[in-house]
Amino acid sequence: MSSPTRVLVLNSGSSSVKYQLLDMRDSSRLAVGLVERIGEQTSRLKHTCRVTGEMREQRAPIADHEAALKAVGEELHRDGLGLDSPELAAIGHRVVHGGMFFTEPTVIDDAVLAEIERLVPVAPLHNPANLTGIRTARALRPDLPQVAVFDTAFHTTMPESAARYAIDPKIADRYRIRRYGFHGTSHAYVSRQTARLLGKDPSEVNVIVLHLGNGASAAAVERGRCVDTSMGMTPLEGLVMGTRSGDLDPAVIFHLERVGGMSMDEVDTLLNKMSGLFGLCGDNDMREIRRRVDEGDEVARLAFDIYIHRIKKYIGAYYAVLGRVDAVVFTAGVGENAAPVREAAIGGLAGLGLEVDAGRNAVRGDGPRLISPDSARVAVAVVPTDEELEIATQTYALVEKSG
């Protein structure tokens, strides 16, 4: 029998599981879906078989991740793509925090699970859910290779000068306080695709990647290796995001506690869930914000301007970090779709060789494309991210190598 070529990608959140089944012979999607509101009465499973085009939706309580994965397995089975299929080569898991230890995708065994568990204190929101997904999948198919692909791995090449905060190293090391960065799977994929768009090898180009989704981060990628990124010990640092503040004087936190009488949990919620675009103007969807700006809404305008100002600061900073830049690339929900964001972020940067061609920027598309004029010194591009494909590719490569 020929060797199996399918990879199931699982992205397990605290109350959700997103999944995609890919065939790595041509990177095609065979099925995609999502289980939401696990543990509630209103759970929902949405499944699409890309082979037949059939979409199905289930609304019935799903008690836990084990029940969710079983339900996913049943849906796949109905399409003849079940978890018991001999064509399934591996399961690839998105794991948010791999600390300094995991620099590459890793086949999961008990020791790897223990190490991911050890990182829970630095990733209390994400790693427990990822662990639950892995444990459940291992119980369902103990014989199958399961691979962890870490959001932090791409950033482990950052030099100490970029990864360390300016605090006592003994305290930093004791509590594992350092800049880990996130969205690494996206930054890796998009920076490589950008090199390809320029007709170059990743080792030949320096790229600033702007991953602008509901979460947002920038990365400075030098010859294929990350040398700086805007998220830090947690995803709170850096750019203005949908609901996160991004960079902030840490003394604001002391002030809110001492003068505002807020508890640490309240400040945490304020900065992670009630800030950013949402905190500034009550909306975190860029489509809605642009609609309001176009209608003359001053509150939305200010939120937009603060968002853009922060992006510009990071472009300037990473230009200086890299010394020479070949491309600035936009990706994720906002970066791929919001032409006014791209235009405003690059506006006024002609002195750095950065320009946007209005006609090219306005064209909608779903592939990688240049939006700078041919005469520009530095390319400006839009490259759609594909974290699931990257996880599947890394998982399959590892399984092939070790199998």
- Does 287 help bind ligand AMP (rule: CB under 6 A)? yes
Closer Cβ to ligand AMP, 77 or 287, answer by number:
287
> At its nearest, how many Å lie between ligand AMP and the CB of residue 239?
12
Pick from 183, 289, 274: nearest CA to 229? 183
Q: Is 332 in the site for ligand AMP (CB under 6 A)?
A: yes
- The number of helices, as runs of H, and strands, as runs of E, in the chain is 15, 14
Instruction: Say whether residue 16 binds ligand AMP (CB under 6 A).
Output: no
Q: What DSSP assignment string belongs to 265-298?
A: HHHHHHHHHS-HHHHHHS---HHHHHHHHHTT-H
Give the binding-site size for ligand AMP (rule: CB under 6 A): 12
Residue from 36, 66, 115, 285 that binds ligand AMP (CB under 6 A)? 285
Q: Which residue has the tokens 């630095």?
A: 122
State the nearest-atom distance from the C-beta of 27 to ligand AMP, in Å. Answer: 20
330 beta partners: 210, 382
Stretch that binds ligand AMP, among 26-34, 56-64, 109-117, 282-290 (CB under 6 A): 282-290
Q: How far is the CB of 274 from ligand AMP (least distance, A)?
A: 15
State the sign of the Cα–Cα–Cα–Cα dihedral 157, 162, 165, 167. Answer: positive
| Chain residue at closest Cβ approach to ligand AMP | 333
- Active-site annotation, residues: 151
Contact (CB, 8 A) for 1 and 386: no
343 contacts 359 by C-beta, under 8 angstroms: no
DSSP summary character for residue 366 = S
Cβ proximity to ligand AMP: between 99 and 184 the closer is 184
Under the binding rule (CB under 6 A), the answer on residue 291 touching ligand AMP is no
Chain-centroid distance, C-alpha 333:
11
Q: Show contacts with ligand AMP in window 101-140 (CB under 6 A).
A: none
Question: In the set 45, 334, 379, 382, which binds ligand AMP (CB under 6 A)?
Answer: 334
Nearest to ligand AMP of 202, 235 (CB atom): 235
The DSSP output letter for 3 is P
- In the complex, which residues of this chain contact ligand AMP (CB under 6 A)? 213-214, 242, 284-287, 332-334, 337-338
